Structure 1
Amino acid sequence: MGLVDDKNKEKDARQESDGDGGAARDASSFNTADQDDDNDAENKLHLGPQCSLKEQLEKDKDDESLRKWKEQLLGSVDINNIGETLDPEVKFISVAIVAPERPDIVLSIPEDGKPHGLWFTLKEGCHYRLKFSFQVSNNIVSGLKYTNTVWKSGLRGKPLNPYNANWSKTCLKRVCCSVFSTKDMIGTFSPQQEPYTHEMPEETAPSGFMAKGSYTAKSKFIDDDNKCHLEINYTFDIRKDWSSKE
C-alpha cells in the first residue's frame, strides 16, 4: 500500500503541475493574442493628408518618368479645368432621347432639377436610348452611376428588381401596382473643359392600352463617394405617337 500511495501522490502532483502549466500556457496564448491585436492596431496604415488633384499634378513635375506615370494613370487632364478643392464637380448640360425613327429629343435641365410640366413623350413600343452630356471639373469623379425610378402617375408601390432592364414587360404585367427601377454604371472621368457624352443601352417603351398614360420619375447621378451630382424629378407620357411639339 505504501508504494501504491507514493505512486498515486506522484501522479497527482504531475497532474497539478500539468494543470498549472496548461493554465500558464493558456494565459500566455491570450497575452500573445492581445499583443498581436495591439501590434495590428499600431501597424495599421496611416494615410497622409489628402491633397487636391492640382497639387498632385504639380508635385514632382520635373521628374519625367513620374510625370509619364501620372499621365498613364490619370489620362489627359486639362490643368485649366482643375480647381483647388478635393471634391469633383459634375455639371449636366443636357439629356437627349435618341430613337432611330425620329430626330433626337434634346432636353434642357433646369438648375433646380425640376422641369415644369410634361418633360417629354415616348411613342409606345419605340426603341430608344438616353444620351447624357456633362462636364467634369476640379477633380476626378469615380464610379458615376445613373439610377432611375418610374411610377405610374398616382400609383406608387414596391420597386421591382433594380437590375431588370426589360421594363416594357414589367410595366405590361404590373403597370397598375408597381414601379420600374434601374441602376447603371456610367464610368470614371477626369476633369476637362470639353463636355463628355455618354449613351445608355437601348430600351423599349411599353405598349398597349394599360401602358399608355402619364408617369412620374426620379433620376439621380451618384458617384462612389455617394455624392449626388444631380437629381431630376419629372413627368412624361407614353402615347400612340410622338408629340408633334418635340
Structure 2
Amino acid sequence: MSLAIGVVSTAKSMGFDDKGKEGAPETQQAGKTAHEEESGDERGTSLSRHMSEGSAAVTEDEEEDVERKIDLGPQCTLKEQLEKDKDDESLRRWKEQLLGSVDINAVGESLEPEVKILSLAIKTAGREDIVLPIPESGNPEGLWFTLKEGSRYSLMFTFQVSHNIVSGLKYTNTVWKTGLKVDSTKEMIGTFSPQAEPYTHEMPEETTPSGLFARGTYSARSKFVDDDNKLYLEINYTFDIKKDWA
C-alpha cells in the first residue's frame, strides 16, 4: 500500500497493491480451466459467452465506478447450449464434461446466472482462519476485522453459482485511509457452471504493510461482478492494521 506519507507494501489481495491486478491464475472449475474453456472456439462453439479483449483491459486512469458496455452476444439457457451442435459427438461430450453433474432439468430454463458470496476468510499460517460471514445488508457494522502489521495472509472466497453459467466473475477492492484512496485491486476469479456444492477461490499469499504510518483504520469497498457488469455483491466496511492481532 502506498500511503500519502510514503509507506510502501507488496500486499495486493485486500487492497494494498498500487497497480491492482487483472487476470488471476487460471481457475479450475467443473473439470476445465478458464484457458481451456477459451479454446472451445476452436472446436466449433463455446459453452459460455466469452468476454472480449476489451473487457479485460482496464487502464490505470479508469475510475472504479465507470461501467463499460460489453457486447457478449445473446444469452442462452443451459438446455439451449446443450442442444447446439448436438450431432457433434465430441463437442457434446466436451460440454457434458464441462457441466459435470449439473441438473439441467432444475436450472436449464434460466437465462441469468446467480452468484451468492457465502463468506470471506483471511488465512494466516499458525492462526485460525478469520471467517467473515456476509451480512444480509451486505455492509458489516463497525470494525469488520483487524490485521497485524507485517503479517502474511491470503484471502479466500466461498461462493455458490446457480441457474446458469457465470462468465468472467471478478473481484474488485478499493481502500481509503483518512479520506485518501490508497489502493485499487482487480482480480479475475473465472467462469463457473452452476452446481450444488460451493466453489472456493484462494488468492496468493501477501503481506500487510508495517510501520507507524501504516497502522490505523481503513475503509474499503469490495465488489463481485461478471462480464455483463452484473453486480452480485458490494460490501462497504472498515478494518484496522495494528501492532498485533486483536
Q: 1:92 aligns with which of 105, 114, 117?
A: 117
Q: 1:151 aligns with which of 172, 176, 180?
A: 176
- TM-score, with length taken from structure 1: 0.64
State the SS of the aligned residue for 2:109: coil
CA distance in 1, matches of 2:118, 2:197: 11
CA distance in 2, matches of 1:228, 1:48: 19
CA distance in 2, matches of 1:122, 1:194: 30
Q: What are structure 1's unaligned runs of at least 5 residues?
A: 1-46, 158-178
Residue 183 in structure 1 maps to residue 176 in structure 2 = no
CA distance in 2, matches of 1:191, 1:241: 41
CA distance in 1, matches of 2:190, 2:89: 29
User: Which residue does the alignment assign to 1:5?
Assistant: none
- Can you list the C-alpha shifts for 1:83-135, whole angstroms capped at 9, x where unaligned? 52211100011000000031100000012210111110001110000000000
Task: Give the AA of the match of 1:112.
Answer: S
CA distance in 2, matches of 1:241, 1:77: 45
Residue 230 in structure 1 maps to residue 233 in structure 2 = yes
Asked which structure has the greater CA Rg, the reply is: 1
Deviation at 1:238, TM superposition (A): 0.6
User: Which residue does the alignment assign to 1:115?
Assistant: 140
1:58 to 1:99, Cα distance in 2 relative to 1, 3 A? same
State the SS of the aligned residue for 2:227: coil
1:116 to 1:48, Cα distance in 2 relative to 1, 3 A? closer
- TM-score, with length taken from structure 2: 0.64
User: Which residue does the alignment assign to 2:94?
Assistant: 69
1:48 to 1:149, Cα distance in 2 relative to 1, 3 A? closer
Task: Give the AA of the match of 1:102.
Answer: R
Residue 203 in structure 1 maps to residue 228 in structure 2 = no
Higher relative contact order by CA 8 Å / sep ≥ 6: 1 or 2?
Answer: 2
Deviation at 1:67, TM superposition (A): 3.1
Q: 1:46-65 counterparts in 2 under 5 A?
A: 50-57=75-82, 65=90
Deviation at 1:55, TM superposition (A): 3.6
Task: Give the AA of the match of 1:125.
Answer: G
State the SS of the aligned residue for 2:96: helix
Deviation at 1:226, TM superposition (A): 1.3
1:214 to 1:83, Cα distance in 2 relative to 1, 3 A? farther
CA distance in 2, matches of 1:50, 1:237: 43
State the SS of the aligned residue for 1:84: coil
Deviation at 1:149, TM superposition (A): 0.6
> Is the contact made by 1:83 and 1:137 (CA closer than 8 Å) also made in structure 2?
no
User: Which residue does the alignment assign to 2:12?
Assistant: none
Paired residues in the alignment total: 174
1:240 to 1:77, Cα distance in 2 relative to 1, 3 A? same
Deviation at 1:54, TM superposition (A): 3.1
CA distance in 2, matches of 1:192, 1:126: 35
CA distance in 2, matches of 1:48, 1:227: 15
User: Which residue does the alignment assign to 1:78?
Assistant: 102
Give the % identical residues: 72
CA distance in 2, matches of 1:194, 1:104: 21
> Is the contact made by 1:77 and 1:190 (CA closer than 8 Å) also made in structure 2?
no
Task: Give the AA of the match of 2:133.
Answer: S
Residue 220 in structure 1 maps to residue 223 in structure 2 = yes
> Is the contact made by 1:54 and 1:79 (CA closer than 8 Å) also made in structure 2?
no
User: Which residue does the alignment assign to 1:11?
Assistant: none
